[in-house]
Amino acid sequence: MAEDILKVEDGFYILSTSSRVDDRTRVLKQGDVFAIFDRFGDVEGFGSGALGVYHRDTRFLSKLVLRLAGQRPLLLSSTIKDDNALVAVDLMNPDISQGGEVTIPRGSIHVYRSKLLWQSACLERLRIHNYGIGPVEIDMTIEFDGDFRDIFEVRGVQRERRGRRLPAEVTRDSVLLAYEGLDGRVRRTGVAFSPAPTELSHSNARYVLRLSPRAAATCYLAVTCENGPASNVSVPPTPPCAQASAAYDAAATACERALAKLRTEAPSIVTSSAPFNEWIARSASDLYMMETETPHGPYPYAGVPWFSTVFGRDGIISGLEYLWFRPAIARGVLKYLAATQADRTSDEQDAAPGKILHEARTGEMAILGEVPFGHYYGSVDSTPLFIVLAGAYYEQTGDLPLIRDLWSNVERALTWMDRHGDADGDGFIEYARQSLHGLVQQGWKDSYDSVFHADGRLAEPPIALCEVQGYAYAAKISAATLAHALGMHARASDLERAASMLRARFEDAFWCEDIGCYALALDGRKRPCRVVTSNAGQCLFSGIADSEHAQQVARTLLDERSFSGWGIRTVATSEVRYNPMSYHNGSVWPHDNALVAAGFARYGMRRKAAQVLSALFDATRCFDLHRPPELFCGFHRRDGDSPTLYPVSCSPQTWASGAVFMLLKACLGLDVNAAARTISFTHPVLPESIGEMRITGLRVADAHVDLAFARHGDDVAVNVVRREGDCSVVVRK
């Protein structure tokens, strides 16, 4: 397909009509390794510039290109298996000519590529089958390279200097690529083949395949990633996998067992809608894939490719979304964030004592301080949300020993909220960037232009976001509940009084009757940003909103200015800075919609929550693999059209995948209370697309139940199919 490529001066470009222009990628992740391939299973410089195999914020494999007789195979199909464990690609040969004569007709050779990740390695099996009527001899080549670029370089950050490539080591069946970074560490990529190729160089493996009719050959490829110690430490390099075939088989078995174990630890959810089941199944598989074991327990990394690491806010919200489904995630998040809670002031890290982590990075640029994100604390909301998650986790599990261990962290977080978070003492939490290289905006909408006034002027810091005050209110209520559980009743009463005072101050300062909504924020001069945004809906999620105002906010966010038909926009179409193609000023975010819908349900508006669920369900049916992306464009829904993708949206993004679990909880009015050993449903509703649903293995304490739901018009019947252990199921109509 050389005709698809144009050279203009020193650059190469792809024609817009080319079949290569396709950003649909195939993503795998396991542990600290993730891989992004194009639909052919290749890693090329076309399409998404993020293609490659990554380990701990470094791209270890930047090129992997399969060719048959020097030509790219033709694509038959490409998918990710339902459990996210395997990429499967079917290819066939184009017409292969020699001397002007077709020697191997198109479609004679079938190639099946299957790829998986396991323990810092990417493993691939290739099965090449001759379906022609005669014998064939064909060259199969695999080109490979590793550029060892930091994830921030891949994103476009220019560096003045880089480390140096070390000479490649080539054996009969393996190649070892290496790079010595400016941080003194040696990073190595091992590339091993089984059987040994006919020819092997530092960048190319060539097989000469001779296949009789109906015969097949199998080749294996193993790519290993090693983040080595500093170069002055004498440690022999780990060789590439000597037997790639054995490694593939062992990894496939181990991966299957690990996923099966995770599935047994969570309930099963099946509905009468096959597409809805696909959404749930993919979202559960996304959690298992993004779940990463740390010294403190499992942590859901935020998203691939740009956010495949620990993020405080993302981890907390993912923990809340998945809490009733897999509470072990919330426990891991709480323990990790408690262990990394700031204990000193650092302007470069936007850190202060008691503040909860925003982001952790382990790449070369973070180690060197070229980016401030090694341990970075520039989010204003992670700290109160940490307490909210602790309270929700305790209610769900009754795990008082963990809460006792975390109480000092909760107190330090409360102190940060009252002192450093409220530097001017007005009762509201504000932020202003301290680091020259950190985030300007430090709420969840962290684009530089995401906080503005009605005339479009950007708000000046310090900025008090409306939803952050809601998180602070919920944090104080949650901390009071935990204090009562620990027997500290006087402390609990103080926190309850503080929450009540905050709620009253919030209504006075943030409510804007003229727009029927809470102000987006107060700027540095305490002037409200009178803009209709989804942030106001999150004030319902936290419970800080007045009941009457909550009803008005719901009406505002579900009118055509805010509701696109696919979901609630971040910014209403009536606002000056509305742009449906922007990151935060008019797009639709699934996790944001889930939080807003949970807020609707909190104030008794479950049918409105179901409206949001139905809209996102319809959108998800249009997305590749039925996976909701990080965000999508906020254009109005048109008959016969699909939602418009945002071009660099992460997919999977854990809190986007978790949205369906929070939405279901909101619609069902589901509450799991370990202390009371009850599972309750308050005024449950189901969207019209679901007539029946079954949840098997829903746990409370050491008991679990199987439940069946049936929708009859506006009513939902809940039946206990099976019960094991001491628990009760309560349905409030």
730 shares a domain with 690: yes
Q: Give the per-residue pLDDT at 243.
A: 72
Which of the 8 DSSP states describes residue 242? S
- Each residue's pLDDT tens digit, 650-673: 989 999 999 999 999 999 999 999
Q: Please give the Cα distance from 381 to 511 (Å, whole number).
A: 20
First to last CA, the chain: 63
Whether residue 453 is found in the same domain as residue 588: no
* Same-domain pairing of 479 and 399: yes
- Residues 573 and 703 grouped into a single domain: yes
pLDDT tens sequence across 492-533: 999 999 999 999 999 999 999 999 999 999 999 999 999 999
- Residues 504, 595, single domain; the answer is no
CA distance 575 to 585: 9
Residue 325 lies in a domain: no
Tell me: cis bond preceding 628? Omega within 30 of 0 counts. Answer: no
Residue 5: the pLDDT is 33
Q: What is the pTM of this model?
A: 0.93
Residues 610 and 653 occupy one common structural domain: yes
Residue 572 CA: distances (Å) to CA of 318, 468, 584, 635, 699: 26, 20, 11, 11, 40
Q: Are residues 86 and 118 in the same domain?
A: yes
Nearest to 574 by CA among 533, 536, 611: 533
Q: State residue 231's pLDDT score.
A: 53
* 230, amino acid identity: A
> Residues 211, 217: contact at Cβ < 8 Å?
yes
Q: Residue 652 falls within a domain, yes or no?
A: yes
Asked if 605 and 596 touch (Cβ cutoff 8 Å), the reply is no
Do the domain assignments include residue 524? yes
91/217 same-domain check = yes
Kindly state the tokens that stand for 206: 């060539």
- From the list 216, 222, 211, 273, the residue with the least C-alpha distance to 61 is 222
User: In this structure, are 253 and 286 located in the same domain?
Assistant: no
Considering the domain architecture, whether residues 179 and 92 belong to the same structural domain is answered as yes
- Look at residue 309 and give its three-state secondary structure: coil
The pair of structure tokens assigned to 58 is 């470094």
* Burial of residue 7 (number of CB atoms within 10 Å: 0-12, 13-18, 19+): exposed
Say what the pLDDT of residue 15 is: 29
Domain that holds residue 218: 2-257
So what's the pLDDT on residue 373? 87
Dist CA 206 CA 208 (whole Å)? 7
Sequence letter at residue 66: L
Which pLDDT does position 46 carry in this prediction? 56
Same-domain status, 489 and 597? no
- If one counts every other C-beta atom within 10 angstroms of the C-beta of residue 642, the result is 14
Q: Distance between CA 352 and CA 345 in Å, rounded?
A: 4
Could you tell me the CATH number of the domain that includes residue 487? 1.50.10.10
Structural Rg of the chain based on CA atoms: 27
Residue 333 lies in a domain: no
Instruction: Print burial letters for 501-514: b (CB count within 10 Å at least 16), e (below 16).
Output: ebbeebeebbbbee
β-sheet bridge partners, residue 142: 66, 205
Please count the structural domains in the chain.
3
Of the candidates 544, 573, 589, which is a domain's last residue?
544
- Check which CATH number belongs to the domain holding 221 and give it: 2.70.98.40
Whether residue 114 is found in the same domain as residue 70: yes
Q: Is 577 helix (H, G, I), strand (E, B) or coil?
A: coil
Structural domain ending residue among the three candidates 522, 544, 566: 544
The reply to whether 303 falls in a domain is no
**Comparing C-alpha atoms, which of 380, 377, 378, 399 is closest to residue 390?**
399
Express each pLDDT in 568-597 by its tens digit. Answer: 999 999 999 999 999 999 999 999 999 999
Residue 312 lies in a domain: no
Q: What pLDDT, on the 0 to 100 scale, is given for residue 717?
A: 97
Locate 456 and state its tokens.
Answer: 């479009």
Residue 265 domain flag: no
Query: 340 lies in a domain?
Result: no
**In the chain, which residues have pLDDT < 50?**
1-22, 47, 232-239, 242
